[in-house]
């Protein structure tokens, strides 16, 4: 790059001085031979008459305003930016120029040669100035562009720039370039106004302008960029991007300055990967904090899930291909059992075998401690840090490119070197196949597509199987896989990121207003309050080094990897100090959801932990974790409050809310009021009567003793109803978690304990280890102190769970004997429809045996299908829906920012009964909260009897319609049990469930019918494999293991390819698939779930103490404030139904059916009203993380607030009956009697029709079809 060489090249071209630098930039980025390139281009233009379109120089109408906002988004939009505005930037700050900072010594000469006009730019800092007269400062016109991948806080950078230039002079204007750097050289831009800017403050994503990964590289692009900027009169341009984008911005600044363009160029440091930091000037890149806290929330949730079930290793892959900064930050935040760092692997030259043995050793040692579970995190780029793997990839690419080499294992092993052949043979089968078959258009192996977590799990499994065969390992290794990435890129920025980004934007504005160029905004002193932050700018050239990229030497900002030694190694050192302890001690730190209440929640203001350590703050020591107590197959670990995270400790101080009717000091003050007798489905009555000794037991309501006479006026229908007090002495009530994990279960325990704690000699006994723990009488007395440490926490880690089953005679007898031995006066079973169905039979068994133990059921489950006319919600549904909605909202906004992906998001839902009664309540609720482009609902597909082909066509039609409007992106929600609703799949699933699993494919095919066999064989290999996985405890197919979203995406892609071939589709389609479930079901509970669970805990305790055997605890009127909720109980028999019988006449066991989405209900109708617009436009709302305080904390899921109040309707009906009776007393007018009689007779006839006709109505003593309403009147 010597000057003489450049002049020699340029002499023959007779380039003008102003063109000279353009030519250098052209060569620098394109790397083409100068002697041939220009002339070839000219000849090509002359021969082919290439017409180069001039860039646009007039603004485009702005069309990307958001159409909807969630409650939290509105709250954040209105947040006062002055709370986090550095004082030094107020008014008109003074520029203090410091010395020029040289680049790295070995590259300084080269970099100076590449940036002669801007190399000597000095470092600058801002000092306080005077506000002065704004009108005396000339207005500026500034452009802004978003470059590269999304990072939370980008909109706040723009807001800081906007407000900064308006502070300089209110007449200043901003130009926003659309869809990345491409918008600069094509002139695709809009003018940003107050209303536009105010619609994006403190919001996530880059959808305000859109982003792109283009770079300004060619001579023509540089020239067009300058033409656009000069023509529209830009004084400055801010490039918001990562290391490559800011390097590109520096080249643009050099080009503009060398060519006399007045536009100055500065940058803002963006990347969630955390690899753009240059201490002390750029201590951290923006977006890193929000992304890591989002991932930490999810890792925390799966850690709680691991503790609750104690049967899975959760292996989590996090973003970070070139650096492991995210993995390290998340590890420091959450304390998993292992975190693999790519930089450490590369330094120690670890092989895949080394990593496998290292993890297998940990798993084996944990198994000896009774821990066949754990959490392992790793960066997505881990595999590329393994030296031997890179060597293998290089040789594979070379050999597969040679003619005659077959892409088979046998063929490739013949040509690989011995060392690479050994590595290749060590890989699992599916990875070997992927390396040979899945290659890019250039024929290279697509390493980025390798799912590292599955690769590692497969090699660990092989190693453990070898050890098991040798007798050195006796444990179980089951895995759940998670890959977190896109959901972290577009979330609402944390308080830190929002503040930091706003300061970066205001700093960039200050640099441009002072005529500076070639700088990147710098904000320091981040341990101090935001008002004390120090702001300035550092020259980009001082941060650059020369690296070889794609075979060429290029200037780049050096990537910041995890430092293992040196001045910035504090985070790594802190992790190493606790790593060995974490391998065997479950010291998981639950960070909880990101919070925005700066007034009451101190942890909302936390800055990244790696940044804290790098700035000199010490790492807190690990908390003392009690030694686990082995109780059967479950390890009981009673964690003290002091071991909890700061957010959990703060949350535990929240006082639970109770309905007014339950605000009592002890059980003595509680009263059970019988409302009216209940009934089951009339056609089921005789059959149920054979199974249950007590039918038509009364619905009951709980209240304070004397409540009806002292504090409330009785309604007409309540006159004469029975009330009963409570025996509060010597109660021993046990509680078992039978169902799956759900947020709020620990608050349920708090409600039980608080209600019983003031009763003499009474205790709540927690059954450890679910139903198996009940049989083994594994109990722990629950005290207020224990419960307080778990208040507001997710999961079931205190008591755990096992198989959800109490069904056989042996199990029922074991349960009765355990209750007798424990002296239980009550047993509370917490779970979903299956649990409460079993509870009905347990209660009957106990009653017939004369047991004094009252069985009480409690509705619980994130799937939300343990609802019916009586039950308005199940514990955990609200929290899980909100946690999932945040991830869907983040992802949808990410899609509208990048504008090139279709996200297929499968939502964990109610498919626990193997597809026969799959439900989609969660999917519907999440859709109502986030407004995706499409919702594939199990119940709707089932009702319409859609085939797989029809379903694929409907998705493809929506995508094609959006493509015609220029929108090649979107978000599609897929209910987990969707495949079970497709007729041909339902038959296949039914047949597969009759075959014991696991089983070889050939044996399975032999047992399938012709049609099901054909369908099975037509499916992709991954779906075939998943259909044959181990079954659930009830022998049903594990719908959560079926990658339905991946299957749909693949079939839609094939359909669109065919349409493109036919000329009917001209868009693009790039699908990204994700499953959302485990990362949400152990979330910290919302305010609603805390209070609802707590109230149910108190309710179930009163029912048990009152001896109400065979009842489910109820809390109704949930759309009202908590004070107005009504607590009570309903007999199981009122909710039982008989499934349809087969042709043999056999009548199945009556059960409580999981409630399916009501397609005529208010929630689904609300979605129908919005569906068309959602498909056509971007109506996305991002609910954000669950808020534990502040205005948004009180929100309740839409499907709960829209719920029809069955009990309230019954009460109104009874009041109408009471009115009729009152008006038809002896002595009333004869006409009144006749009208009433005829009206009731007509109503009875109508009700007979609704019940299935007169012949279908069961006749029973004292309750004929003609006398039903009359009986109710009496």
- Provide the sign of the torsion angle of the four alpha carbons 144, 146, 147, 153, taken in this order: positive
Q: How far is CA 67 from CA 196, 201, 958, 1165, 1171, in A?
A: 12, 15, 20, 20, 14
Q: Which two tokens stand for residue 24?
A: 């250098």
Distance between CA 260 and CA 874 in Å, rounded?
A: 68
Q: Which of 189, 239, 235 is nearest to 209 (CA)?
A: 189
Q: Where are the alpha helices (DSSP H) in 858-920?
A: 877-898
Would you say 786 and 735 are in contact if contact means Cβ atoms under 8 Å apart?
no
**192 has which bridge partners?**
174
**Beta-carbon count within 10 A of 508 CB:** 33
Distance between CA 655 and CA 871 in Å, rounded?
A: 25
Q: Which two tokens stand for residue 1274?
A: 């009496």
Tokens 């009664």: give the residue: 917
Would you say 811 and 771 are in contact if contact means Cβ atoms under 8 Å apart?
yes
Contacts of 1154 (CB under 8 A, 6+ apart): 832, 833, 863, 865, 866, 910, 912, 913, 917, 919
Q: Which two tokens stand for residue 1013?
A: 């066999």
Indicate if 273 belongs to the active site. Answer: yes
Q: Where are the alpha helices (DSSP H) in 530-654?
A: 570-584, 609-614, 646-652
Q: Where are the alpha helices (DSSP H) in 318-386?
A: 325-334, 342-347, 352-368
Distance between CA 1093 and CA 1085 in Å, rounded?
A: 10
| Degrees, nearest 5: CA angle 1079-1045-913 | 70
Contacts of 24 (CB under 8 A, 6+ apart): 6, 114
Would you say 591 and 297 are in contact if contact means Cβ atoms under 8 Å apart?
yes
Would you say 742 and 859 are in contact if contact means Cβ atoms under 8 Å apart?
no
Q: Which two tokens stand for residue 16?
A: 């003008």
Q: Which of 908, 913, 768 is nearest to 834 (CA)?
A: 913
Chain-centroid distance of CA 509 in Å reads 35
Distance between CA 1139 and CA 916 in Å, rounded?
A: 11
- For the purposes of burial, counting CB atoms within 10 Å of the CB of 916, is it exposed (0-12), middle (13-18) or buried (19 or more)? middle
Q: How far is CA 346 from CA 331, 354, 575, in A?
A: 19, 12, 18
Distance between CA 234 and CA 1272 in Å, rounded?
A: 81
Would you say 1266 and 1247 are in contact if contact means Cβ atoms under 8 Å apart?
no
Distance between CA 150 and CA 107 in Å, rounded?
A: 31
Q: Which of 1135, 1131, 1272 is nearest to 1211 (CA)?
A: 1272
Would you say 729 and 1077 are in contact if contact means Cβ atoms under 8 Å apart?
no
**1130 has which bridge partners?**
1112
Q: End-to-end CA distance of the chain, in Å?
A: 104
Beta strands in 449-491 (DSSP E): 479-484
Q: Is 1241 left (phi over 0), alpha (psi -120 to 50) or beta?
A: alpha
Q: How far is CA 904 from CA 446, 901, 934, in A?
A: 22, 10, 10
Catalytic residue among 273, 586, 747, 894: 273
Distance between CA 562 and CA 275 in Å, rounded?
A: 8
* Catalytic annotation, residues: 273
């Amino acid at each position: 790059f010597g000057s003489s060489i450049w002049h020699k090249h340029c002499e023959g071209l007779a380039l003008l001085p102003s063109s000279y630098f353009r030519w250098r930039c052209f060569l620098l980025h394109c790397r083409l031979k100068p002697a041939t390139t220009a002339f070839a281009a000219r000849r090509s233009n002359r021969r082919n008459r290439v017409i180069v379109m001039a860039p646009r120089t007039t603004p485009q109408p702005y069309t990307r305003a958001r159409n909807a906002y969630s409650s939290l988004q509105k709250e954040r939009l209105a947040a006062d930016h002055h709370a986090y505005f550095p004082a030094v930037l107020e008014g008109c700050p003074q520029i203090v120029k410091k010395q020029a900072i040289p680049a790295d010594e070995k590259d300084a000469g080269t970099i100076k040669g590449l940036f002669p006009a801007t190399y000597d730019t000095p470092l600058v800092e801002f000092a306080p100035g005077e506000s002065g007269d704004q009108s005396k400062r000339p207005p500026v016109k500034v452009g802004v562009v978003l470059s590269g991948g999304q990072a939370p806080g980008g909109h706040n950078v723009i807001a800081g720039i906007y407000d900064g230039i308006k502070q300089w002079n209110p007449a200043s204007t901003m130009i926003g370039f659309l869809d990345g750097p491409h918008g600069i050289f094509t002139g695709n831009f809009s003018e940003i106004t107050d209303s536009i800017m105010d619609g994006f403050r403190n919001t996530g994503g880059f959808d305000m302008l859109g982003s792109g990964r283009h770079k300004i590289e060619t001579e023509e692009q540089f020239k067009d960029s300058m033409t656009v900027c000069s023509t529209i009169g830009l004084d400055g341009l801010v490039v918001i991007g990562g290391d490559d984008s800011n390097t590109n911005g520096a080249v643009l600044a050099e080009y503009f300055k060398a060519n006399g363009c007045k536009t100055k160029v500065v940058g803002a440091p963006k990347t969630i990967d955390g690899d753009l930091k240059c201490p002390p000037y750029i201590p951290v890149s923006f977006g890193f904090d929000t992304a890591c806290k989002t991932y930490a929330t999810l890792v925390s949730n799966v850690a709680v899930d691991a503790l609750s079930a104690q049967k899975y290793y959760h292996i989590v892959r996090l973003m970070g291909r070139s650096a492991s900064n995210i993995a390290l930050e998340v590890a420091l935040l959450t304390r998993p059992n292992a975190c693999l760092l790519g930089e450490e692997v590369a330094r120690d030259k670890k092989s895949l075998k080394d990593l496998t043995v290292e993890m297998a050793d940990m798993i084996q040692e944990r198994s000896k401690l009774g821990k066949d579970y754990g959490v392992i995190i790793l960066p997505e780029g881990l595999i590329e840090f393994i030296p031997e793997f890179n060597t293998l990839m290089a040789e594979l690419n070379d050999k597969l490119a040679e003619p005659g080499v077959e892409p088979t294992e046998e063929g490739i092993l013949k040509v690989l070197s011995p060392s690479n052949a050994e590595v290749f043979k060590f890989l699992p089968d599916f990875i070997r196949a992927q390396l040979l078959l899945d290659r890019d258009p250039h024929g290279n192996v697509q390493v980025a597509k390798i799912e590292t977590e599955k690769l590692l799990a497969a090699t660990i499994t092989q190693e453990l199987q070898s050890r098991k065969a040798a007798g050195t390992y006796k444990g179980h290794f089951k895995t759940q896989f998670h890959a977190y990435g896109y959901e972290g890129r577009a979330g609402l920025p944390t308080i830190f990121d929002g503040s930091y980004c706003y300061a970066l934007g205001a700093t960039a504005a200050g640099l441009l207003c002072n005529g500076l160029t070639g700088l990147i905004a710098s904000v320091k002193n981040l341990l101090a309050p935001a008002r004390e932050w120090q702001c300035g700018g550092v020259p980009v050239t001082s941060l650059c080094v020369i690296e070889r990229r794609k075979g060429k030497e290029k200037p780049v900002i050096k990537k910041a990897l995890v430092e293992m030694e040196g001045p910035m190694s504090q985070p790594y050192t802190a992790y190493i100090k606790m790593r060995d302890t974490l391998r065997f001690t479950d010291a998981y730190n639950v960070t909880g959801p990101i919070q925005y209440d700066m007034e009451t929640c101190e942890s909302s203001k936390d800055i990244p932990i790696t940044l804290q350590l790098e700035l000199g703050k010490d790492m807190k020591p690990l908390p003392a974790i009690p030694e686990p107590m082995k109780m059967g197959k479950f390890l009981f670990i009673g964690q003290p409050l002091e071991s909890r995270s700061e957010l959990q400790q703060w949350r535990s101080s929240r006082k639970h809310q109770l309905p007014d009717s339950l605000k009592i000091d002890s059980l003595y003050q509680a009263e059970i009021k019988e409302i009216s007798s209940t009934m089951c489905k009339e056609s089921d009555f005789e059959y149920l009567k054979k199974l249950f000794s007590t039918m038509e037991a009364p619905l009951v309501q709980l209240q304070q003793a004397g409540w009806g006479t002292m504090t409330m006026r009785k309604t007409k229908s309540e006159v004469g109803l029975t009330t009963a007090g409570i025996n509060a002495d010597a109660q021993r009530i046990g509680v078992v978690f039978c169902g799956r994990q759900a947020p709020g279960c620990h608050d349920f325990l708090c409600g039980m304990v608080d209600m019983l704690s003031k009763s003499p000699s009474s205790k709540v006994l927690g059954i450890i280890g679910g139903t198996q723990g009940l049989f083994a009488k594994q109990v722990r007395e629950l005290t207020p102190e224990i419960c307080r440490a778990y208040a507001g926490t997710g999961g079931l880690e205190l008591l755990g769970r096992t198989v959800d089953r109490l069904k056989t005679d042996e199990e029922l007898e074991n349960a009765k004997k355990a209750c007798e031995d424990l002296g239980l006066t009550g047993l509370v079973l917490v779970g979903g429809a299956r649990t409460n169905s079993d509870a009905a039979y347990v209660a009957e068994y106990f009653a017939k045996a004369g047991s004094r133990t009252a069985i009480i059921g409690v509705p619980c489950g994130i799937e939300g299908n343990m609802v019916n006319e009586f039950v308005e919600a199940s514990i955990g549904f609200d929290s899980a829906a909100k946690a999932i909605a945040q991830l869907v909202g983040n992802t949808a906004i990410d899609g509208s920012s990048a504008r090139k992906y279709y996200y297929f998001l499968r939502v964990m839902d109610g498919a626990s009964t193997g597809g026969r009664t799959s439900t989609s309540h969660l999917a519907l609720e999440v859709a109502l909260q986030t407004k995706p482009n499409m919702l594939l609902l199990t119940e709707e597909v089932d009702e319409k009897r859609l085939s797989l082909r029809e379903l694929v066509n409907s998705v493809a039609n929506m995508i094609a319609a959006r493509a015609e409007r220029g929108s090649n992106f979107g978000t599609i929600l897929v209910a987990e049990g969707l495949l079970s609703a497709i007729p041909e799949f339902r038959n296949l699933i039914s047949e597969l469930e009759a075959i014991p699993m696991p089983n070889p494919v050939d044996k399975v095919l032999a047992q399938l019918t012709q049609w099901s066999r054909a369908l099975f064989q037509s499916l992709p290999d991954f779906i075939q494999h998943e259909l044959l996985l181990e079954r659930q405890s009830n022998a049903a197919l594990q719908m959560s293991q079926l990658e339905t979203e991946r299957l749909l995406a693949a079939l839609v892609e094939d359909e669109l390819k065919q349409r493109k071939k036919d000329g009917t589709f001209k868009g693009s389609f790039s699908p990204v698939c994700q499953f959302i479930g485990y990362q949400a079901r152990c979330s910290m509970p919302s305010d609603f779930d805390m209070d609802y669970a707590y109230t149910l805990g108190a309710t179930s305790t009163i029912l048990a103490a009152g001896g109400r055997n065979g009842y489910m605890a109820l809390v109704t009127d949930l759309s009202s404030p908590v004070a107005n909720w009504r607590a009570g109980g309903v007999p199981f028999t009122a909710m039982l139904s008989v499934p349809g019988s087969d042709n043999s006449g056999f009548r199945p066991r009556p059960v409580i059916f999981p409630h399916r989405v009501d397609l005529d209900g208010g929630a689904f109708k609300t979605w129908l009203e919005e569906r068309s617009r959602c498909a056509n436009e971007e109506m996305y709302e991002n609910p954000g993380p669950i808020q534990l305080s502040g205005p948004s904390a009180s929100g309740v899921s839409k499907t709960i607030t829209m719920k029809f109040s069955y009990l309230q309707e019954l009460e109104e009906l009874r009041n109408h009956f009471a009115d009729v009776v009152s008006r038809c007393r002896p002595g009333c007018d004869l006409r009144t009697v006749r009208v009433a009689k005829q009206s009731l007779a007509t109503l009875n006839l109508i009700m007979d029709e609704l019940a299935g006709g007169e012949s279908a109505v069961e006749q029973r003593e004292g309750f004929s079809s003609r006398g039903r309403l009359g009986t109710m009147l009496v």
